[in-house]
Structure 1
């Protein structure tokens, strides 16, 4: 568990994001500190995934500032690409290159973005595949893997870039129920090892076990935030109580 005396790896101030006439994020202030695991929960449409996509520049904010690893998010493509190399992103869909082997998926960005040699990239890739329990699948193609295995490869690919922060956008939502656990186990291990993480999830067990802080988004803002036991067991806001009651009924 992290201490709040550590520096913020992600710092957001006054984040506003609109889609047409709809304001999805309305003045979000949020810091994520080094080594901290922050889970974002809340009703559908609350802006959880949008907030993550703003952090790595996939969505442009309408106002406010975002800093990642001490650098302000740039509006130029060159600046964005530089900062994205410090951000690992794992999506709902696995987004692996289907025509490449697992190892090639892990090494291409290392070579082209970080300038690593083929040998360096392969060594890093092999170590990460072992770390996610897929050391024997380096030469396989994505369509020969289960969904859970593909998502673990996607996590390894993001880690290969040595990111300052890992962003996870509902990483288990596309998986069959029996495959969810293997992905959450990898994520819990990363959390235990001190990786800075922002995780959008409906997996309350993961939030309870791995998160330092749970942030509940609703109606364009942060309804409440705090340790998992506080937010999940003793919510103080009406919005939080309503959301968790809805979860309990399903």
Structure 2
């Protein structure tokens, strides 16, 4: 089932044409990566879909609701996590979650907070101030906060910007968990490996247009068949890094 549908989306700022007719669809429970370099228009697409910005032309819907005509319904259906973790450093991790649950009038906010701390492997750190958290822990908490109220669609705008390699892996695992639980994820990223490891489908946004859209295997088939050569396989930098530091970082 199609959850997000975008057709002919255009947006300009005076003479700067940011989006020049963007089209794509996202299926329920999938991870869809919008891949592009800085300035490609990724964040503009997310801002339009989350009703924060009005498009100049085109149509877009989320959960069947038009983002322009039914903006209130769209906002009830989504959660948006920006490029920087929106957490209160003075509060503990659990207090951050409880606060958001109360603001959204969720029943039993304490239980909601405890369940999310467990889901994102933050239970032991739940009683500590967020100021003591590592970058990966803050981002995981931020994603956990975005799930309060069980929104069916989550927008993650460059979720691993500024994170170290190990923290990125922590966030990747959290994103995979979202889809595993049935959440539809639209992820924007400029990192090729991030799109490759996470996405069910990848759309490349370049100069305001989607130039290709498909599964990783479909995108690979756009290139000539690989030439088979027998070479000694060397460990990747990721293999070396994880062997030296371990698969998971100790909580700080």
If the length of structure 2 is used for normalisation, what is the TM-score? 0.81
Larger radius of gyration: 2
Seen in structure 2, the aligned counterparts of structure 1 residues 101 and 15 have a Cα distance that, compared at 3 Å, is same
Q: How does 1:26-175 map to 2 (within 5 A)?
A: 26-74=20-68, 80=71, 82-113=73-104, 115-117=105-107, 120-175=108-163
Seen in structure 2, the aligned counterparts of structure 1 residues 20 and 235 have a Cα distance that, compared at 3 Å, is farther
Question: What CA distance in whole angstroms lies between the structure 2 residues aligned with 1:233 and 1:209?
Answer: 17
If the length of structure 1 is used for normalisation, what is the TM-score? 0.82
CA displacement at 1:165 relative to structure 2: 0.9
Q: What secondary structure is seen at the aligned counterpart in 1 of 2:26?
A: strand
Name the counterpart of 1:240: none
CA displacement at 1:161 relative to structure 2: 2.4
Deviation digits for residues 58-87 of structure 1, max 9, x if unmatched?
Answer: 222112222111211246xxx645532321
Query: Please, which runs of 5 or more residues in structure 2 have no aligned partner?
Result: 225-252
- More helix per residue: 1
Q: What secondary structure is seen at the aligned counterpart in 2 of 1:124?
A: helix
Name the counterpart of 2:8: 14
Name the counterpart of 1:199: 187
Q: What secondary structure is seen at the aligned counterpart in 1 of 2:87?
A: coil
Q: Compute the RMSD of aligned alpha carbons.
A: 2.0
Deviation digits for residues 172-231 of structure 1, max 9, x if unmatched?
Answer: 112123321111111122233332111112333332233111101112111011111222
Deviation digits for residues 120-145 of structure 1, max 9, x if unmatched?
Answer: 22211211111111012222222111
Is the Cα contact below 8 Å between 1:12 and 1:66 reproduced in 2?
A: yes
Q: Across the two proteins, how many residue pairs are aligned to each other? A: 224
CA displacement at 1:41 relative to structure 2: 0.9
Question: What CA distance in whole angstroms lies between the structure 1 residues aligned with 2:197 and 2:164?
Answer: 21
